Amino acid sequence: MTRLQLGARGSALSRAQANLIVQALSPWAEIEVAVVTTTGDRLSAREAPISWKGDFTKELDEAVLSGRIDFAVHSAKDVPSRLPEGLALVAVPEREDPADVLVAWPRRRFEELPSGARIGTSSPRRRAQLLAARPDLVVVEARGNVDTRIRRLHEKRFDALVLARAGLARLGRLEEISDVFTGEILLSAPGQGALALIARGGDSDVRSLLSRLDHPPSHQEVLAERGLLARLEAGCRAPVAARARVEAGALGLAAGVFSTDGARSLKEEASGSALEAEAIGHEVADRLLEAGAAELISGGSP
């Protein structure tokens, strides 16, 4: 049986994601998980801000390129829109629900939060949309892993948190959810809910094996959302949201760019063949740029 090394971060969520891949590949290969500490892990441990999307992927990608590991699993939302030369996004397994969710203590729905409630998130995208929907809320920084943030919620540092449903699902903690946001209130991050399997572009044996896990509709959705990001040249601190949906071979993409205070927003949609996923992402990005998205991304006014 083929033996390969899969690289993952040391967080509970990253280990859970790696275990899903190990189990899925078990009929064809024996996979050993190698834990790689990334810049993002070190920054998170100090509760420092993440300044670049690749902070959670750089060291793993370097390990793949050097041959120390055979492939890596990332949360697709953490993968920069342009991969290092020599690497390829080989497979996207079936995507989890990408919705954002509310975790409140005591348990309440979003509309039930009292005026002035402190809602924790470190995401400019979430901050902007939360304030657009409820300008009476106070959005405060919430850093650290899921366990840390939920513990601090129960310590009353926040009244509520916004987290990704997919992460809670993979950690077996869906019971924590108080409310699920619709896309009309809180449109998700590009790539949210999806896993990205990264390998060396020229490693045909590994690529062939990983292709068994690829879910074409999920892959096409991620390609559209990543195409949008690449065209916008937007990083992890940019208040950009996107959600692609593939049904019966057709892909629809909705996206938005926001001012960080939630006062201004630009939204666009497009649809077409799922085989043209990346091009649809570019089309929506071009419409947003024509409407002034670059200024919003950089923190100015359109």
CB 221 within 8 A of CB 278: no
Looking at residue 300, its pLDDT comes to: 45
Q: Is the pLDDT of residue 45 over 50?
A: yes
Q: Is the pLDDT of residue 144 over 90?
A: no
Model pLDDT, residue 49 = 57
Predicted local confidence at residue 51, as pLDDT: 58
- Minimal CA–CA distance to 260: which of 230, 284, 240? 240
> For residue range 162-189, what is the model confidence (pLDDT) as tens digits?
999 999 999 999 999 999 999 999 999 9
Task: Look at residue 151 and give its three-state secondary structure.
Answer: helix
Selection from 30-44, 210-224, 286-300 with the highest mean pLDDT: 210-224
Tokens coding 47: 């509760």
Mean pLDDT, all residues of the chain: 92
**Bridge partners of 34?**
7
Structure tokens at 193: 């809910």
Q: What is the pLDDT of residue 189?
A: 95
Q: Report CA-CA distances (Å) from 204 to 198, 201, 252.
A: 13, 8, 32
Q: Residues 82-99: what's their mean pLDDT?
A: 96
Q: Where does the pLDDT of residue 67 fall: very low under 50, low under 70, confident under 90, or very high at 90 and above?
A: very high
Q: Does the pLDDT at position 39 exceed 90?
A: no
Question: Of all helices (H) and strands (E), which one includes residue 196?
Answer: strand 195-200
Say what the pLDDT of residue 302 is.
40
pLDDT digits (tens, 9 = 90+) for 208-247: 999 999 999 999 999 999 999 999 986 556 799 999 999 9
DSSP state of 176: G
Sorting pLDDT into bands at 50, 70 and 90, what band is 38?
confident
Residue pair 207/70 in contact (Cβ under 8 Å)? The answer is no
78 tagged catalytic: yes
User: How far does the chain reach from its first CA to its final CA, in angstroms?
Assistant: 57
Which one from 78, 100, 159, 203 is the annotated catalytic residue? Answer: 78
State the pTM of this model: 0.93
In this predicted structure, which of 48-57, 137-146, 166-175 has the lowest mean pLDDT? 48-57
Say if residues 87 and 198 touch (Cβ distance below 8 Å).
yes
Q: Going by DSSP bridges, is the β-strand pair 240-247/71-75 parallel, antiparallel, or unpaired? A: unpaired
Residue-range domains of the chain with CATH: 1-93+194-214 (3.40.190.10), 100-180 (3.40.190.10), 216-297 (3.30.160.40)
Q: How confident is the model at residue 159 (pLDDT cuts 50, 70, 90)?
A: very high
Q: In this model, does residue 81 exceed pLDDT 90?
A: no
Confidence check: pLDDT of 15 > 90: yes
| Average pLDDT over every residue of 57-61 | 91
